[in-house]
Structure 1
Amino acid sequence: MSGKSMTGLVIALLLVVVGFNTLYIIKETDRAVLLKFGEIVDPDIKPGLHIMIPVINKVRKFDGRVQTLDAQSQSYLTVEKKRLIVDSFIKWRIVDPQKYYTATSGDEYKAAELLFPNVDAGLRNQFGERTLNEVVSGERDELMVELVDSLSVQTKDELGIEMVDIRVKKIDLPQEVSASVYERMRTEREREARELRSRGKELAEGIQADADRQKAVIEANAYRDAQQVRGEGDALAAKVYADAYNKDAEFYSFYRSLNAYKAAFNQQGDIMVLKPDSEFFRYLGSPTGKASE
Structure 2
Amino acid sequence: MRLRSIVTILILIILAAVVAIAGSMVFFVVDETEYVVVTRFGDPVRAYTEPGLKLKWPEPIETLYRYDNRLLIYEAGEVEFLPKDKKNIILDSYVVWRIDDPVKFLKTVKDEMGAEDKLRDIVLSELGIAVGNYELAFSIDRPGRDETGCDDG
Shift of 1:135: 4.7
| Residue aligning to 1:282 | none
Deviation string 1:232-252 (CA, Å, 9 cap, x unpaired) is xxxxxxxxxxxxxxxxxxxxx
Query: Which residue in 2 is equivalent to 1:266?
Result: none
Q: 1:97 aligns with which of 95, 102, 122?
A: 102
Query: What letter corresponds to residue 21 of structure 1 in structure 2?
Result: M
CA shift in 2, pair 1:132/1:50, >3 Å: same
Which residue pairs with 2:50 in the alignment? 46
CA contact (8 A) 1:44 1:96 kept: no
Give runs of ≥4 in structure 1 deviating > 4 Å: 133-139
Checking the alignment, whether the CA contact within 8 Å between 1:33 and 1:44 is kept in structure 2 is yes
Tell me the amino acid that sits aligned with residue 126 of structure 2. G
- 1:244-263 paired onto structure 2 within 5 Å: none
1:271 maps to what in 2?
A: none
- Separation in 2, partners of 1:85, 1:6: 69
Aligned AA (1:88): S
Cα 1:80–1:49 shift into 2, 3 Å:
same
Distance in 2 between the 1:14 and 1:113 partners?
43
Q: How does 1:223-242 map to 2 (within 5 A)?
A: none
User: Equivalent residue for 2:9?
Assistant: 5
Give unmatched runs, 5+ long, in structure 2: 142-146, 149-153
Q: Is the 8 A contact 1:34 1:45 kept in 2?
A: no
- The equivalent residue for 1:83 is 88
Q: 1:46 to 1:82 in 2, by over 3 A?
A: same
In structure 2, distance between residues paired with 1:63 and 1:119:
21
Contact 1:74 1:85 in 2 (8 A): yes
Structure 1 counterpart of 2:42, one-letter code = G
Matched, 1:37 2:41: yes
- Which structure has greater helix proportion? 1
1:144-185 Cα offsets, whole Å, 9 max, x none, are xxxxxxxxxxxxxxxxxxxxxxxxxxxxxxxxxxxxxxxxxx
Is contact 2:33–2:70 with CA below 8 Å preserved after alignment?
yes
Q: How does 1:1-293 map to 2 (within 5 A)?
A: 2-55=6-59, 56-106=61-111, 108-133=112-137, 135=139
SS of the equivalent of 2:77 reads coil
TM superposition score normalised by structure 1: 0.43
Q: Residue 133 of structure 1: CA displacement?
A: 4.9
TM-superposed deviation, 1:2: 3.0
Deviations, residues 182-213 of structure 1 (Å, cap 9, x unaligned): xxxxxxxxxxxxxxxxxxxxxxxxxxxxxxxx
Task: Tell me: CA distance 1:68–1:2, structure 2 relative to 1, closer, same or farther (3 Å).
Answer: same
Cα 1:83–1:64 shift into 2, 3 Å = same
TM-score, length of structure 2 as denominator length: 0.77
RMSD between aligned alpha carbons? 2.2
Query: What CA distance in whole angstroms lies between the structure 1 residues aligned with 2:71 and 2:114?
Result: 16
Q: Is the Cα–Cα contact under 8 Å of residues 44 and 98 in structure 1 kept in the other structure?
A: no
Contact 1:75-1:86 at 8 Å conserved across structures = yes
Q: Which moved more, 1:13-22 or 1:69-78?
A: 69-78
Write the distance in 2 (CA, Å) between the matches of 1:121 and 1:100: 22
Deviation at 1:102, TM superposition (A): 2.2
For 1:48, the aligned partner's letter is G
- Pair member with larger Rg: 1
